[in-house]
Chain A
Amino acid sequence: MIENIDLSLIDWSRAQFALTAVYHWLFVPLTLGLSFLLAIMESIYVKTGDEKWKRITRFWMTLFGINFAIGVATGIILEFEFGTNWSNYSWFVGDIFGAPLAIEGILAFFLESTFVAVMFFGWNKVSKKFHLLSTWLVAVGANLSALWILVANAWMQNPVGMAFNPETARNEMISFWAVLFNQVAVAKFLHTISSGFLLASMFVLGISAWFLIRRREQFMARRSILVASIFGLLASLMVAYTGDDSARTIAKTQPVKFASMEALYQGKTNAGLVAVGFLKDADRKLGEHNEKDFSFRIEIPSLMSVLTGGSAGSYVPGLRDNLYGNDSLGIMSVNDKQVRGREARRMLLSYQNARKSGDGGRADSLKNILVTKDYQENYFRYFGYSSIDRPEEVLPDISVSFYSFHLMVILGFLFIMIFAIAIYMLFKDILEKNRWFLWVLLFSIPLPYIASELGWVLAEMGRQPWIIQDLMTIPMGVSRIASGSVLTTFILFAILFTGLLISEVSIMVKQIKTGPKH
């Protein structure tokens, strides 16, 4: 069933999806957060009737519009790339994955796109209250969009609520609520939207700081900083809380990813949490690759054991436990999973052959075994391992996982500090006297973008080689097209997206420099 697939096809298909996702994610978080900031600012305008707040809202709305358009442009490609580049995956999971995407379109996209038109063009056409409602609905719509696509992504990280149907050779949904309330989905959604709120707050804070540095639009800048720093502090605390929750969820659902992001090879009790660390190649090997050691680290003793198991004595499984098994902890080895996955594939082939040869009796009896709960949970659950040759193939890149995670966390704590200091200085009325801090705010604008992209690097590269955890590897899911075609479209997209990004940044900078018009 697994034919020889051109490796360059897989690489270019991955590269194209990664390119689109990285570009798309440069714009989405700002939409998620800025939409709420607009809604808050406009609410103050409607409540107070102060025209200055309307002017502030409209300035940020102009920037929102520029960012929104390019977010939409890069988003449409992502939806269709599941089909164009990952068609086998799309069939294997379409019964589950398609539903959230369709709901996203029906419930969220229309809400967002309908009321965005009222938001931009309705100032003089609809009542103040209806306009405000439209702005809030844009924010709700944008964040609802995020919910459904994250539900779909969470299912790939932790497939739940489905059963494999041998007749159609695909996974089928058996519980919508299990898919929606997948623990990974809940953690991912809250973490992602709050990171968007944080990013947008830093964006508003940084640009407002620039106005203060230039001693222009000071009223608007101060008011914007007031709203953004409070919203940003709350968001950054929520990011930290939900990030912790996400990490615990990963420890349970994707233990290999968890051990990779901590670079924990050998499991242990009293495991410390590395706050800062640098990796180097060790002499020991795990498969073909050298293990990593720390050349430097600052560690908080026992904290990882406490966070994951509740006490310092809790054992945190390492990569070796997950690869080679640990009987005392009930961790199955990859070899055992390979045996089960291959058995599931063999049974499926036997069933398909029986059907093809018209042996209905045998096909029925095989099907009766295949659909039992026991077979689904103990064999099909490891279906993807049938295309794994060596246990070490299930390892992601340890350095990428470790650094993306730790850098993201360090930045997360930095953001809490920045927002807290901004609020303190604002209320003490010393913000404008401390010009160095205004520069810090300005140069902090790119940092949440970096942190946010790192989060996705960890989420996606940290779960290699799976396209669906334990069920399907990347090569199994790719569309069988000529790699030259994908290479060509990769280049086209790279040129187009880069060109549009340059244009977007240039327009945005010009609009900021021009300042509010109304």
Chain B
Amino acid sequence: MTVMISHMFLQHYWWIIVSILAGLLVFLMFVQGGQSLIFSLPGNEIQKTLIVNSLGRKWEFTFTTLVTFGGAFFASFPLFYATSFGGAYWVWIAILFSFILQAVAYEFRSKPVNIFGQKTFDIFLFINGALGPFLIGTAVATFFTGAMFSLDSMNSVHWETPYYGLEALFNIRNLTLGLAVLFLSRINGLLYIINSVGEEDLISTARKKILLNSVLFLVFFLFFVVSLLVSKGFAADPATGAVTEEKFKYLYNFIRMPLVLVIFLTGVVGVLYGIAVSIFGKSDKGIWFTGAGSIFAVFSLFLVAGFNGTPFYPSVYDMQSSLTIYNASSSLFTLKAMMYVSFIIPFVIAYIWYAWQSVNNTKITEEEMKSEGHVY
């Protein structure tokens, strides 16, 4: 019994870690959000270079967080990794494809003789900026709306549509979360640029763009949240593991886990406050509020998706194949070994923070870029 409780504790522990990584990833997608503005925000080439260089100094954090998010999912919930990646093939491949484009675009865009020209690499940045957050949001929405798969006796996945994941795009709720994540990333991107670039005209244009992006974000986000609260959800019986549909499941999850509700509301307030101080207060610190708010909101949505006997990856084709944090997890031994490794995370965050501060201690301007020499 002790072993069971410990395993259950670790399954919860690792879902929390995965949820934190998801929150961090959405925040760090300010890089993608900023990239999606690469053609519409700058008024001239110098401003574009400033935007690209301010984002370019952070792109690897997002990239590494995505890789770690995937690795942590693989290690702690391998059945999800196998099922979703092996089945919803096209969605994940499209996401990865856009990230390949990004990884080279920064380093190659302004280098002479790059064969394809700067414009092409800027388009790569735009594609990653627009598609990355949208597709990740759409894919994560299937945690709530379900996917079409079944598992056999060896837990091998069989995807039951010929679209291999692209069918997620035919669901309006999935699309709204995708668009909400995209516009949140754009807001975070604008606020990051306001925070890190030292060019008044650019900052002023960025401020003007916050409002429209915020309105669009709120429309899609509220649509998704309301539909989540009023829709049917999926519930796993704690004793047998049998999965059934349950009305208002996610609303009940919030009510039964009030702390999660508080975290969610704190996150939403944080995002709104960050937006408000940036539009009305002319502050350049808005990114920290919207950033923290994004982390909190996404973190709490993941907890709602996986805790309180909720299958975090429901199958709408064969409900009993649905994945819970219990049936999809690694063994007790592996989760415990990994837990010891996870203790190092605060140390990792500490040195990231220190390095971030030491590189960001001056605003990025034309002169600053020239003095550092490594210009994207």
Contact = CB atoms under 8 A, between A and B. Distances in A.
Partners in one complex: yes
A470 B31 CA distance: 45
A275 interface: no
Given A98-B71, A102-B71, A173-B333, A76 B82 contact: no
B72 interface: yes
Given A113-B64, A481-B87, A510-B111, 15 more contacts: A70-B103, A80-B85, A88-B82, A90-B81, A98-B330, A98-B334, A99-B330, A110-B64, A110-B68, A111-B348, A111-B351, A114-B61, A125-B358, A125-B359, A481-B159
Contact of A101 (B60, B71, B104): B71
B68 A109 contact: yes
A323 interface: no
Given A109-B64, A507-B108, A518 B154 contact: no
A368 interface: no
Interface in A163-216: 165, 168-170, 172-174, 176
A79 B359 CA distance: 29
Interface stretch (B90-98, B175-183, B241-249): B90-98
B100 A94 contact: no
A7 B292 CA distance: 49
Interface in B44-88: 57-58, 60-61, 63-64, 66-68, 70-72, 74-76, 78-79, 81-87
A457 B60 CA distance: 30
B373 A113 contact: no
A102 B104 contact: no
A502 interface: yes
A87 interface: yes
A84 B79 CA distance: 12
The 7 closest A-B pairs by CB, nearest first: A87-B86, A94-B78, A83-B85, A105-B68, A98-B75, A73-B103, A102-B75
Interface in A482-505: 482, 485, 489, 492, 496, 499-500, 502-504
B87 to A, nearest CB: 7
B227 interface: no
Contacts of A172: 330-331, 333-334
A481 B82 CA distance: 13
B205 interface: no
Contacts of A62: 374
B13 to A, nearest CB: 14
Contacts of B71: 79, 98, 101-106
A66 interface: yes
A97 B78 CA distance: 9
B208 to A, nearest CB: 29
8 contacts: A58-B373, A73-B101, A73-B102, A76-B103, A83-B92, A90-B78, A103-B341, A481-B89
A169 B155 contact: yes
Interface stretch (B112-120, B254-262, B270-278): B112-120
A492 B97 contact: yes
Interface in A112-142: 112-118, 120-126, 130, 134
A468 to B, nearest CB: 14
Contact of B334 (A1, A74, A96, A485): A96
A352 interface: yes
B167 interface: no
A377 B70 CA distance: 32
A87 B87 contact: yes
